[in-house]
Homo-oligomer: A and B are copies of this chain.
Amino acid sequence: MNRNNHSKHIALKQVKINDSFWNNICETVRNNVIPYQYLALQDKIEDAEKSYCIDNFIKAANVVSNLNNGIEVETYPVDKWYYDEKNADEKAFHGWVFQDSDVYKWIEAVGYSLQNHPDKALEAKAREYIDIICSAQLENGYLDTLYIINNRHKTFSNLKDFHELYCFGHLVEGAVSFYEATGDKKLFDAAVRFADLICDTFGKDKINGYPGHEIAELALVKLYEKTKQIKYLETASFFIEERGKTPFYFDKEQGTKTDGSSYKYNQAHMPVKMQKEALGHAVRGVYLYSAMADIAKYNNDAQLLAACKNIWNNIVNKKMYITGGIGATAEGEAFSFDYDLPNDLAYCETCASIGLIFFAQRMSELEINSQYSDIIERALYNTVLASMAEDGKSFFYVNPLEVLPIASREDSRKKHIKTVRQKWFNCACCPPNLARLVSSIGKYIYSENDNIIFVNQYIGSEIKNDKAEIKMVSDYIESGEIELHIKPKKAFTLALRIPAWCSEYEISYTDKIRNGYAFINITNDICITAAFNPKIKMIRCSNMVKYNIGKIAVTRGPIVFCIEEADNGKNLHLLKLCDKPNFIYHNGIILANGYREKADDYLYQDYKADEYEECTIKFIPYYKWANRKENEMSVYVRIK
Interface, chain A (partner B; CB < 8 A): 316-318, 320, 322, 329-332, 336-337, 340, 345, 406-407, 410-413, 503, 537-546, 549-550, 552, 571, 573-574, 597, 599-608, 610, 638-639
Contact = CB atoms under 8 A, between A and B. Distances in A.
Contacts of A406: 337
Contacts of A317: 602-603
A604 B555 CA distance: 11
B549 A599 contact: no
A603 B324 CA distance: 12
**For the complex formed by this chain, how many copies does it contain in all?**
2
10 contacts: A317-B603, A331-B413, A336-B410, A337-B407, A537-B607, A539-B606, A540-B600, A542-B604, A543-B597, A543-B600
A610 B608 CA distance: 22
B411 A604 contact: no
Contact of A607 (B411, B412, B538, B638): B538
B336 A599 contact: no
For the complex of A and B, 4 pairs with smallest distance between CB atoms: A538-B607, A542-B600, A546-B573, A331-B412
A536 to B, nearest CB: 11
B544 A600 contact: yes
Per DSSP, chain A at the interface is mixed
Nearest to A264: B410
Contacts of A571: 544
Given A337-B411, A340-B410, A542-B601, 6 more contacts: A317-B602, A542-B599, A542-B600, A543-B574, A545-B603, A549-B638
Contacts of A607: 537-540, 552, 639
Contacts of A549: 550, 573, 638
Most buried by B among A410, A537, A604, A639: A604
Most buried by B among A317, A340, A413, A597: A413
Contact of A538 (B413, B544, B606, B638): B606
Nearest to A338: B406
A356 B186 CA distance: 71
Contacts of A330: 413
A316 B602 CA distance: 10
Contacts of A407: 337, 340
A525 to B, nearest CB: 38
Nearest to A601: B542
Contacts of A413: 329-331, 345, 413
A265 B639 CA distance: 39
